[in-house]
């Protein structure tokens, strides 16, 4: 099972949209996942066992884990590219 952090400012609204899109994507590709939906400020203390970080805000810090910007799931722009990048890290 792959563990994915999905983070935004408050861990409520935008991260929920991105998390739901990622759940659907992974289900479609038979990739079992666990999503940890948290605030941006909580990323560093939740890295144990994480395979991928997706945020709906830009981050500059390198957490030493693969990272995908989740904004396409909110804007509708470049969704397919974001999905392919996510799948490339999880396969």
Q: Which residues are catalytic?
A: 8
CA gap 62, 17 in Å, rounded: 24
Look at strands 67-69 and 33-39 and give their pairing.
Answer: unpaired
Look at strands 67-69 and 52-55 and give their pairing.
Answer: parallel
């Amino acid at each position: 099972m792959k563990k994915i952090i999905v983070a935004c400012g408050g861990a409520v609204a935008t991260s929920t949209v991105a998390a739901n899109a990622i759940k659907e994507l992974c289900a479609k590709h038979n990739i079992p996942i666990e999503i940890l939906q948290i605030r941006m400020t909580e990323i560093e203390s939740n890295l144990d066992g994480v395979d991928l970080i997706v945020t709906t805000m830009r981050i500059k810090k390198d957490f030493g884990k693969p990272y995908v910007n989740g904004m396409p799931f909110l804007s509708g722009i470049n969704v397919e590219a974001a999905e392919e990048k996510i799948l490339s890290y999880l396969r």
